[in-house]
């Protein structure tokens, strides 16, 4: 079963040949997959920095001032007009972490004709796209404004270009089917207790292994948002 921040699930069923060792999890001959979810529409903001002179990167500072949904004000960390994506992300997360989310930041440079470039000598404008890393039930900010510091560049902010889609909620059960040796062509089954939709792959592996013991060591659970695969 695959899961990514409340938006998507994929469940896979591995069917093994009867003449192969059933305790070997690598003896997989068929995979059936079922997925359900909602569109990956995430809250999005954009910061655009236009430099005073083409090819001259500004190293000056600025901040973003946030008003939270409960109308409390706070500022980002100190930001610079030449930050890479990781530095910008860290500065903005000072606020977004207080709302229970992280950000995913991408950065692109453009020349004076609006064409994307990787040549800093031709860079006229830098654009940061900020997306929160999961679907949420309400906006993470009521407003955002730029507070200029030492930068001489033009800094523009477009907040809430896209609002978040609603995350999946609720619970589900896993029904584990087994061939009935006494009645060929028929099946017996075990069923797990209700599982939260936000359960990670490690927890899913543990629950299925404990509550469907005949499938222990025979299922592979993988998460989209994790590099790890868990065997039960």
Tell how strand 125-132 and strand 103-110 pair up.
antiparallel
pTM equals 0.64
Residue 142 is given by DSSP the state S
Q: Which of residues 1 and 201 earns the better pLDDT score?
A: 201
Comparing 28-32, 92-96, 154-158, 215-219, the range with the smallest average pLDDT is 28-32
Q: Where are the domains of the chain?
A: 2-33+168-231, 44-162
The pLDDT score that the predictor gives to residue 222 is 66
The pLDDT score that the predictor gives to residue 60 is 94
- Give per-residue pLDDT as tens, 194-219: 887 767 777 888 888 888 888 777 77
What percent of the chain is predicted at pLDDT more than 90? 45
d(CA 19, CA 15): 12
- Give per-residue pLDDT as tens, 2-27: 444 445 545 554 444 455 555 555 55
Mean of the per-residue pLDDT values of the chain: 81
149 with 59: CB under 8 angstroms?
A: no
The pLDDT score that the predictor gives to residue 53 is 92
- Give per-residue pLDDT as tens, 135-168: 888 899 999 999 999 999 999 999 887 788 777 7
Q: How many CB atoms lie within 10 A of CB 19?
A: 7
Long-range contacts of 87-94 (CB under 8 A, 24+ apart): 88/47, 88/128, 88/130, 89/130, 92/64, 92/130
Which band of pLDDT confidence, cut at 50, 70 and 90, is reported for residue 32? very low
The dihedrals phi and psi of 47, each to the nearest 5 degrees, come to -115, 125
Task: Identify which of 48, 54, 77, 72 has the alpha carbon closest to the alpha carbon of residue 149.
Answer: 77
Tell me the mean pLDDT in the region 92-99: 94
Residues 6+ apart with CB under 8 A from 84: 107
The dihedrals phi and psi of 24, each to the nearest 5 degrees, come to -95, 110
d(CA 94, CA 99): 10
Task: Identify which of 126, 145, 144, 143 has the alpha carbon closest to the alpha carbon of residue 80.
Answer: 126
The pLDDT score that the predictor gives to residue 77 is 92
């Amino acid at each position: 079963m695959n899961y990514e921040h409340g938006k998507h699930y994929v469940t896979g069923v591995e069917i093994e040949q009867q003449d192969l060792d059933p305790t070997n999890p690598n003896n997989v001959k068929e995979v059936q997959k079922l997925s359900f979810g909602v569109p990956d529409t995430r809250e999005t903001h954009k910061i655009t920095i236009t430099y005073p002179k083409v090819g001259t990167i500004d190293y000056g500072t600025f901040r973003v001032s946030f008003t939270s949904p409960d109308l409390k004000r706070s500022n980002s960390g100190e930001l610079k007009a030449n930050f890479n994506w990781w530095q910008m992300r860290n500065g903005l997360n000072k606020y977004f972490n207080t709302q229970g989310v992280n950000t995913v930041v991408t950065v692109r440079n453009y020349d004076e004709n609006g064409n994307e470039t990787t040549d800093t000598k031709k860079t006229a404008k830098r654009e940061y796209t900020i997306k929160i890393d999961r679907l949420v039930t309400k906006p993470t900010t009521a407003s955002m404004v730029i507070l200029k510091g030492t930068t001489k560049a033009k800094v523009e902010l477009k907040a809430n270009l896209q609002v978040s889609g609603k995350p999946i909620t609720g619970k589900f059960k896993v029904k584990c089917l087994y061939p009935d040796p006494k009645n060929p062509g028929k099946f017996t089954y075990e069923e797990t207790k209700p599982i939260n939709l936000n359960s990670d792959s490690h927890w899913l592996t543990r629950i299925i292994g404990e509550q469907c013991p005949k499938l222990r060591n025979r299922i592979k659970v993988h998460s989209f948002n994790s590099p790890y695969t868990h065997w039960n």
